[in-house]
Structure 1
Amino acid sequence: MTSVIFMGTPEFSVPILKGLVANDYEIKGVVTQPDKKVGRKQTLTKTPVKVAAESLGLPIFQPVKLSRSPEVEELIQMHADLIVTAAYGQFLPTKFLNSVKIAAINVHGSLLPKYRGGAPIQYSLINGDTETGITIMEMVKEMDAGDIYAQEAIKIADNDTTGSIFAKLSIVGRDLLLQTLPQIIADPSKKTPQDASKVVFSPNISKAQEEIKLTMTATQANNLIRGLNPDPGAYILVDGKRLKVWQAAVSSTTTDLPAGSLVANNNCFAISMAKKTVLELKEIQPAGKKRMDVKSFLNGQGGKFKVGDQIAK
């Protein structure tokens, strides 16, 4: 039986871990990020991978920092056949990568060399790409720079968000990994180097990137909203306050009103954007409140916003 150390953290990783178990790979250990406090009540919450590993009765490791931790030394001594990572969230020490007998493999959520880094799915949506995919790759010291074992592309639909793409790619990643592992085990040298001239990076999303700016067209703003849904969410400043936007649409109409003006407010909260485009807000979340549809939001405003008003900054 081929032994595996599995490393992952979010929901994306869970089908991949379960697929390995269901296909009789021996999971020597599951490494995931530490439990963290979540929400207003700061409830200590397990990662989705930890929950899955507990249900499967697998050994769990949660070092705050893997490098130089007692846990990494224990993992090295396992001398597993494979390391399989899927959205783990930390760099892996070279001595750990080199400790396995066959290969250290990553299930990466992009078509490398495009979108190396921690937010490949988010950037594919923010940039308006029409496809994304999964890369099964060798792990090396440099981030996402390893040779490629296999790739599979999927189309990005107009209504896709980062959440929906994560869900789709977790299944694609599981199936492609299980399909590719036998050939890796048989001949780990059979792989293709990445084209360094086509590398694009996708660093983690910054706080500054969360703001919908009036210099954006409606399409650019809508892509940002889709890319930051479900986390952390994009916001626009309306009446000087942050208004998170969870769902929007690009209007087929144009306007001569300055960017940031209210174009319509009759069961449709539409704001003018750059280049005369119009963004229709569908699902929003005022600061300190729950998500709501636009109709519920407008009902609570008492006619405060008038068509033509400069409401966004």
Structure 2
Amino acid sequence: MKHLLSAADLDKDQVLELLATAEQMHELQDREVKKLPTLRGRTLVNLFFEDSTRTRSSFELAGKWLSADVVNVSAKGSSVSKGESLRDTAQTVAAMGIDGLVIRHPASGAPHQVAQWVDASVVNAGDGTHEHPTQALLDAYTMRRQIGDLAGAHVVIVGDLTHSRVVRSNLILLQTLGARVTLVAPPTLMPSGVQSWSDTDGFATTYDFDEVLPTADVVMMLRVQKERMSGGFFPTPREYTVGYGLTRDRLQRMAKDAVICHPGPMNRGLEITADAADSARSLILGQVSSGVAVRMSVLYHLLGGANV
């Protein structure tokens, strides 16, 4: 595998191999010296056209802990701000002899285009409202560490499905691992044509969060992406929270061993309350920790000579 552009690029064996490698990489975080020589001599560029904290930082740490040389390039500080095209920017960076390019871009499909223009391995770190495959990998990794094999597990994904790039990758990857997925959103945030997102019928959609909540093994809350909204998708924040927020009341009605995920950043008090975000059921900080290990695994398999 040369690139990681979509969760659909991976079959079950490849996913399990990546997660197994991540398990080994995770042990590095407990060491005093967090360094492996695996990617010594390799160069990785993080090319981010959108703001990011978790993804960009975790890719940077992942590359550095594997001993790669890591360069961060943001649109605000590059020739993009002078009008340079995506193609020229990508080809200019690639011409410097890099080995890997991690790209986040507001246009869906941008990483797929870049992969056709450069020889370096390309990792999709989020493209528009399309996909975010490494987020899906780290979510699955976090869930498996807590509840075990995901085959047959019921994962409920709730919130702003229309503007989320996380949901599509998670839907694909979770079904690859045999999980049962239910997507929950108000009608205004349920994407049209959502049933075409998967080649299988292993997922359901509903507008009723309370109906599916008691049967969930994992409840994944999605951020309400107000910066992508150009109109009124719900009457008031309060009404959204009442209908689709993970409140204290809903926290109490979850199944005994059910856990909570959120890809972050969180809108506390909107899609999730502090009671839920900070509860013992919450795996949210674990997702952040897992992100470094999973991205180390991805970089190892793409740049370290391993065939996934």
Please give the range of the TM-score, normalised by the shorter of the 2 chains. 0.3 to 0.5
Return the index of the structure with the highest Cα Rg: 1
| Structure with higher strand content | 1
TM-score, normalised by the number of residues in structure 1: 0.32
| Structure with higher helix content | 2
